[in-house]
A and B are shown apart, each in its own frame.
Chain A
Amino acid sequence: QVQLQQWGAGLLKPSETLSLTCAVYGGSFSGYYWSWIRQPPGKGLEWIGEINHSGSTNYNPSLKSRVTISVDTSKNQFSLKLSSVTAADTAVYYCARTRMFVWLHEGMDVWGKGTTVTVSS
């Protein structure tokens, strides 16, 4: 059974760079897209971006200028960097797998447990 384990710094100061990594265990890394999603306290889900095993990325236009998602296929891991964080970036950050049917993005079927990131001076 596929599991996602994520980690990274939970407390940041404004202007710092958020850095999270998600490791994929128990399943194939290729054939899927791998996403980052965040959820501010008491609010809904916001998609940040995704990457596949060959490094092809798609980003949320509202965050694109600050986001970099990368992949390390040798370790079955993918990572998120979000630069110049502010208090508005305080959220629970999730990694997730998108199941694919050919080129169709069908849905996010495996999720990490989430990492709480707080931005405060």
Chain B
Amino acid sequence: QAGLTQPPSVSKGLRQTATLTCTGNSNIVGNQGAAWLQQHQGHPPKLLSYRNNNRPSGISERFSASRSGNTASLTITGLQPEDEADYYCSAWDSSLSVWVFGGGTKLTVL
């Protein structure tokens, strides 16, 4: 089963912009895109975007997602201390009928 590859960690300064990446194969990311989740320590994940750049109600416009080929990206602008968290991408593999998660990226806001 193919996986999704995310960098383990990203560090950026306060009020800067962070771009997190998620690379998969054409069956998943390249097909219908990825969903992005944010998880703070000790809490369940929270959906930030789905099907590339659709935000659920209540999610800040500072979070935007995109896709280029087999790589999905999450861009967070104007970084705030509360953005420090783990970020996971996920995608549905329609050929195998399974959800696949990336390994997660720990975002540190300096």
Contact B99 A61 (CB under 8 A): no
Closest chain-A Cβ to B99's Cβ sits at a distance in Å of 4
CB distance from A67 to the nearest CB of B (A): 12
Contact residue range for chain B? Answer: 20 to 34
Stretch at the interface among A11-19, A23-31, A70-78, A103-111: A103-111
Residues in B whose Cβ lies below 8 Å from that of A60: 1, 98
The docked-state distance in angstroms from the alpha carbon of A114 to that of B1 is: 26
* Cβ contacts under 8 Å, B49 to chain A: 107
Q: Write the chain A residue with the least CB distance to B91.
A: A105
Q: Looking at chain A's contact residues, is the secondary structure mostly helix, strand, loop, or mixed?
A: strand
Could you tell me if B1 and A62 are in contact, using CB atoms closer than 8 angstroms?
A: yes
Q: Which of B26-84 contact A (CB under 8 A)?
A: 32, 35, 37, 44-47, 49-51, 54, 56
Which size class do A's interface residues fall under? 20 to 34
Q: Are B50 and A111 in contact (CB under 8 A)?
A: no
Q: Is the CB of A105 within 8 A of B92?
A: yes
Question: Does B99 lie within 8 Å of A50, measured CB to CB?
Answer: yes
B-contacting residues, A84-121, CB 8 Å: 94, 96, 98-99, 101, 104-109, 111-114
Q: Are A46 and B101 in contact (CB under 8 A)?
A: yes
Contacts of B104 in A (CB 8 A): 44-45
Q: Which residues of B contact A62 (CB under 8 A)?
A: 1
Query: Are B101 and A109 in contact, CB atoms less than 8 angstroms apart?
Result: no
1/0 per position for A21-56, CB-CB distance to B under 8 A?
000000000000001000000001111001000000
Binding site for A on B (CB under 8 A): 1, 32, 35, 37, 44-47, 49-51, 54, 56, 88, 90, 92, 94, 96-104
Instruction: Provide 14 A-B residue pairs closer than 8 Å at the C-beta atoms, listed in order of the A residue.
Output: A35-B99, A44-B88, A44-B101, A44-B102, A45-B37, A47-B98, A47-B99, A62-B1, A96-B44, A104-B51, A106-B50, A107-B35, A111-B46, A112-B44
